[in-house]
Amino acid sequence: MHVVKGRTDRVVVVGAGLSGLSAALHLRGAGHEVTVVERHPHPGGLAGRLDVDGHRIDTGPTVLTMPELLDDAFAAVGHRREDHLELLPLHPAYRAAFADGTALDVHTDADRMEQAVREFAGDREAQGYRDLREWLSKLYEVEREKFIGASFDSPLDLVGPDLVKLTRLGGFGSLAKAVGRFLKDDRLQRVFTFQALYAGVAPKDALAAYAVIAYMDTIAGVWFPRGGMRAVPQALADAASSAGVEFHYGVEVESLERVGNRVNAVRTADARIPCDAVVLATGPAQSTRLLHGRPRRVVPLRWSPSAVVVHLSASRVVDDLAHHTISFGDRWDGTFDEIVRKGELMSDPSLLLTTPTLTDPALAPEGRHLQYLLAPCPNLDVAPLRWDALAQRYAEEIIGEMSARKLLVDAEPLAVVTPDDWARDGQAAGTPFSAAHTFAQTGPFRPGNLPFRDGNVVLAGSGTTPGVGIPPVLISGRLAAERLRR
C-alpha cells in the first residue's frame, strides 16, 4: 500500500463525522498530533441531531451494525467502548411487513430465524435460509480484509486467492439471482436484498458481493445506542479529546494552502492551521471544492437515490411494533426503476419506520413516542423536483399510507428532511448515500482515498473506499490513517 511520503506528524482532519472521528482516533493512537475542524457546533456530520419540543431527533443513520469497528476506534487510544457508550441489541433486528398482510420478524439467531422462516414459508424455505446464511458468512469472511478492509492503489491489488474465492462464491453475479438460488419466496428475497438500496443500486443490478450488507444486519446483528445515534459520534469525540485531539467546532474550512499537491496549512475565516497532512472527511462535494475539482474522472460519478425522512411525534404506537419496521409495497423491481432510472416518486412505496423510543423512552417527552419514516426517492440529478413546494404534501401522503397499512397511529410531523436539505448540507445530488456502488464505482474503481500519489491529502467517508454505511465509513477513517503511517 502506498503511504504519504515525508513528515506526517501534524494532521488536520476536516470533518467530525464518523469517518473523521475514526481517522482522528487511529491517527492519535499512532502518535500523530491531530486537530479536527468541524463546521457544525457538535460532532456527527451526517449523523446529525435536531431537538424539537423535547424530542431528541437523529437526522442521519438509524441502523447500527458491526460494533466491533467502534471497539477498534476506541482501542486505538487505549479506551474501551463500554466506558463511553452503551449499545443495546435489537431483537428482532427488523420486522418485515408485506402488502399481503403477512409479517416476519428477522432474527440474528440462526435457530430462531430458521423456525420463523419455517412458520412463515415452509420447510423448503427454512433450509434455503440455512444455506443462504452459510453462503453469506463465507462471503463476509472472504471480503472482510481484502475487499472491505483495504485501500487500493490499482485494480491489480484485487488479484490473489481471495479474488478466486469471491468469484467461486458468485460475488460478481447479480445479487437478486444469488439470493434467489436459496430462497424462492419473493417476500423472503426482499428481506435479504433490500439492503442494495444502501448501495444505490437495484437488487437485480447490484453485485452479489454486496450481500455482505445483509450479513451485517441479519446475522451479525443490529444495535441501538442509549441516548440515540448521536451518542456514537459524541462518544468517539470524547475519547479523542481525552487522548489529546484538539477540536474546533462551528468552524468552516475555506481553503487549503497548497504547494503543488501538498498542503501545508488549512485556512478558516479566522485562522491558519499549519499541518504536515490533511484528512478530508467532508464528503465528495466539499472535498471537490477544496481540491478545486481535482482529481477528475473520465466518467462522472453516478449518485445513489436520496430519501425523504419525516420525523414524527406520536401519542401511541401500534401493538407489537418493532424498533425497525420495513413496510414493503406490492411492487418491487418497479419501485427501483421509478427512483433510480425514471426519476419518479414511488407509486407503491416501500418504507422504513423506526421507533427509537421503544428501546430508549428518554428520547421523547413522557407519554410521547419519537418515530422516523424514511421514503427512498430520486436524487436531484435524476429528478430536480421542487421539494420546497412538494415536501409537506408528500410527507402527508406517506404518513397516510402507513396509517392505512395500520403501522402508524396518532402521529404528528415534527420535521421533514428532503433532498434539498441534504444538498444544502453539502451532499452531492442531494443524497446522503453518496456515490452508487455500481461495478465501475466499486473497490479499486471507486474514488480512491489517496487522490494525489505525490500529495499529502487523504480522503475518508462514504464517497471513497470502502463505501456507504456506518461500518464502511468507520473503516474508511482507519484506512485514511494507515495512508499517513509515520
Nearest to 442 by CA among 4, 170, 143, 179: 143
Look at residue 153 in the predicted model and tell me its pLDDT: 79
Phi, psi of 44 (to 5 degrees): 140, -40
What residue type is assigned to position 48 of the chain?
G
Q: What does R_g of the chain's alpha carbons equal in angstroms?
A: 22
Cα-based angle 479, 230, 193 (whole degrees, multiple of 5):
65
Q: For 437-462, write each residue's pLDDT tens digit.
A: 988 888 888 999 999 989 999 999 99
- Checking if the pLDDT of 155 tops 80, the result is no
Q: Give the separation between CA 234 and CA 231, rounded to whole angstroms.
A: 5
Question: Residue 126, class by beta-carbon neighbours within 10 Å (0-12 exposed, 13-18 middle, 19+ buried)?
Answer: middle
Look at residue 330 in the predicted model and tell me its pLDDT: 92
Q: In the chain, what are the domain boundaries?
A: 10-48+63-86+228-300+437-483, 110-218, 303-429
Q: For 96-112, write each residue's pLDDT tens digit.
A: 999 999 999 999 999 99
Q: Residue 435, SS3?
A: strand
DSSP string, 238-305: HHHHHTT-EEEES--EEEEEEETTEEEEEEESS-EEE-SEEEE-S-HHHHHHHTTT-S--SSPPPBPP
Domain 10-48+63-86+228-300+437-483 carries which CATH code? Answer: 3.50.50.60
Does the pTM exceed 0.85? yes
Please give the C-alpha separations between residue 252 and each of 16, 322, 339, in angstroms, as whole numbers: 12, 39, 33
What residue type is assigned to position 486 of the chain?
R
Of 108-117, 331-340, 358-367, the one with minimum mean pLDDT is 331-340
